[in-house]
Chains A and B, each alone.
Chain A
Amino acid sequence: MENNENATWSKHIQLSNRTSECNRLFEFLADSLEQLPVTKEFRHDLKLVSEELLANIIKHGYDSHAVGFIDIELAVDGRSVRITFTDSAGAFNPLERASPDVLNDLSEGGMGILLVKSLTDEQHYKRDNNHNVFTVTKNYNK
């Protein structure tokens, strides 16, 4: 059995529901993934996925005047990166959207979830104690 140097660990950040928080999200991701043996493309893909999910929550979740928080946990286990987004807005499962007619519809979120599905290996939604919990997993060590 190989000595797994990539120990299991997780990091956490809390963002508020403002699009300017993107910058903190990007910093968080860059810092968290810095030591991981993954490609530039892998890092970009997770950055894009995270941005899409954050944007979706901000847009569809909290009422525009309400202050809301979004908890993000990034966990690594030697084979994959798992990012979990938790928010306390109304129930919303982005996976349930119908596929949009993207170019004619320009539907908000539709393109985003398409990108999320294409760039991650697993996606999972659950409603837990008045929270939306959305998890994506991307494998890097097969």
Chain B
Amino acid sequence: MPLTIEIHAEPNEGKRISLAGSLDTDTAKQLQDKIDHEIDSTVHMIIMDLKRLEFLSSAGLRVIFKTKKYMDSHEGKFMLLNLQPQVRKVFDIIKALDGMNVFKSQEEMDEYLTAMQNKVLDGDA
């Protein structure tokens, strides 16, 4: 199964990366190359939407971790969204969800972001 990658701008210097298909040892490089090309330190938030991702293996997980690490390094945000059960299972086995912002839906993520923004506005950094 191939991998389809769509990257769209999000408010607040964010990018939404939507994946469809299979992120495996054959397609992982394609994603890494795309991220290397499109993401730099001016990107303050990445939302990785996995709603249409059917399959994930450790090769793909490595790209995701590397991206999160990169965002951490310049205090950017990294959010994972809409994991299908079999994809979530991979994260669970690797115990990779700790320290990750994972959301079940767009609505859940929006609530979180609004709360964070309100915190900032209230002066609670």
Partner-B contacts on A (CB < 8 A): 19-20, 22-23, 26, 41, 44, 47-48, 51-52, 54-55, 58-59, 102-103, 106, 108, 111-112, 114-115, 118-119
B57-A106 in contact (CB<8A): no
Number of A-B contacts (CB under 8 A): 54
Mark interface residues in B83-125 (1 if CB within 8 Å of A CB, else 0): 0001000100111100100000000000000000000000000
Q: Check if B26 is an interface residue, CB within 8 A of chain A.
A: yes
Partner-A contacts on B (CB < 8 A): 1, 24-26, 55, 57-59, 61-62, 65-66, 86, 90, 93-96, 99
Given known contacts A19-B25, A23-B26, A55-B57, A102 and B86 CB-to-CB distance under 8 angstroms: no
- Residue A114 contacts which of B55, B94, B99 (CB distance < 8 angstroms)? B94
Query: Which residues in B have their C-beta under 8 angstroms from that of A111?
Result: 58, 61-62, 94
- The 24 listed contacts between A and B (C-beta, < 8 Å) are A22-B25, A22-B26, A26-B1, A48-B55, A48-B90, A51-B25, A51-B57, A52-B57, A55-B24, A55-B59, A102-B94, A103-B65, A103-B96, A103-B99, A106-B62, A106-B65, A111-B58, A111-B62, A114-B93, A114-B94, A115-B90, A115-B94, A118-B93, A119-B93
- Residue B86 contacts which of A20, A41, A55, A106 (CB distance < 8 angstroms)? A41
Query: Which residues in A have their C-beta under 8 angstroms from that of B90?
Result: 48, 115
CA distance A90 to B86 in the complex (A): 33
Query: Which residues in B have their C-beta under 8 angstroms from that of A54?
Result: 25
Among B25, B59, B95, max chain A CB count under 10 A is at B25
Query: Which residues in B have their C-beta under 8 angstroms from that of A26?
Result: 1
CB-based nearest B residue for A100: B94
Query: Which residues in B have their C-beta under 8 angstroms from that of A47?
Result: 55
CB-based nearest B residue for A20: B26
Known: A19-B25, A22-B25, A103-B96. 13 other contacts (CB 8 A): A22-B24, A23-B26, A44-B86, A48-B90, A55-B59, A102-B94, A103-B65, A106-B62, A106-B66, A112-B58, A114-B94, A115-B57, A115-B90
